[in-house]
A and B are shown apart, each in its own frame.
Chain A
């Protein structure tokens, strides 16, 4: 068993990261190119629509795989794809900074934390905890009713659709906003992070 682990080739995460970066680059340049080089409105809209549908489908498919998943490690990997697709949607929405932060904090931090949590709390990472089919049916019914209600409300409401100006300078503006308009929540959140760090270390410490 251990032999097969040591002889199998690594998954090649660097190759995956390279593909990811290429996709990010393409998504962003396509948007910028369509916006700047005088491509007719319909064409740039179509490009955006194609990217939107690809990443929305990716997010929804990965979400469904999480719902259907029995194995927590696999669920965590599917969560990575959800987070990546949502980050791509942030790019499409002109929130470049937030998309990068999503990758760094979620994919790089929270996901690793969750996977370590799984590793530390299971005797074997392949432990299964199944629930009764009846409970699954109830939860699915509740989820579907919620979904239909929300989508119905969204489609019925007449949203004002004025686009904000997207000039790609959001990083500077967010930095300025954090130290002026949003200074108080910024400080509160930083104190909260300190408290959480101490609290989590206290909770998870080894009793001697």
Chain B
């Protein structure tokens, strides 16, 4: 568990392995989730989405590095995810601009027309 990572000999921390990258990626993912759920600005939510996608990419690249047989699979999937992130950001900003035109604000809490 978490406590296993504390108080190990120095070599444990210096030998950077798959686990280290996965922990960084998990932290980035959680920050992205937090940003997505706390920002009311639509662009802020998009920034959170980018954080989450970066965490996923870091995961994929780390796995493709630390797995002897699938050298490039992870990297190519990460490439596709970068493309999808760009597409998502473009559509997201377009929607945000449209939303701003209709509401004169970018506050996502005001968009309640579809609420049942």
Contact = CB atoms under 8 A, between A and B. Distances in A.
Interface of A: 42, 45-46, 48-49, 52, 56, 59-60, 63-64, 66-67, 72, 75-76, 79, 82-83, 86, 89-90, 92-95, 97-98, 101-102, 105-106, 109-110, 113-114, 116-118, 120-122, 127, 129-131, 135-136, 139-140, 142-144, 146-148, 150-152, 154-156, 159-166, 170, 173-174, 177-178, 182, 185, 189, 192-193, 196-197, 199-201, 203-204
Given A161-B17, A164-B71, A203 B54 contact: no
14 contacts: A93-B65, A94-B65, A95-B64, A106-B82, A113-B90, A117-B46, A136-B38, A160-B67, A162-B68, A185-B80, A189-B80, A193-B86, A204-B93, A204-B98
B74 to A, nearest CB: 8
A160 B18 CA distance: 9
CB-based closest 10 A-B pairs? A203-B94, A150-B26, A117-B93, A162-B68, A129-B40, A143-B34, A204-B94, A63-B31, A196-B87, A200-B94
B78 A98 contact: yes
Nearest to B87: A196
A178 B76 contact: yes
A121 B96 contact: yes
Given A110-B89, A147-B30, A117 B20 contact: no
Contacts, number: 244
A82 B27 CA distance: 12
B86 A105 contact: yes
A136 B40 CA distance: 12
A197 B89 CA distance: 11
Contact of A143 (B1, B18, B31, B65): B31
Interface of B: 1-2, 4-5, 13-24, 26-35, 37-44, 46-48, 50-51, 54, 57-58, 61-62, 64-72, 75-76, 78-80, 82-87, 89-100, 106-107
A176 to B, nearest CB: 9
Contacts of A82: 28, 51, 54
Contacts of B64: 93, 95, 164
A125 B42 CA distance: 13
A196 B71 CA distance: 30
A143 B47 contact: no
Contact of A79 (B51, B65, B69): B51
A101 B79 contact: yes
Given A67-B35, A72-B43, A189-B84, A199 B16 contact: no
Given A143-B31, A154-B22, A196-B87, 12 more contacts: A49-B16, A64-B31, A66-B31, A72-B47, A83-B54, A101-B79, A135-B38, A162-B68, A173-B71, A185-B80, A193-B86, A200-B93
B97 A204 contact: yes
Contacts of A201: 94
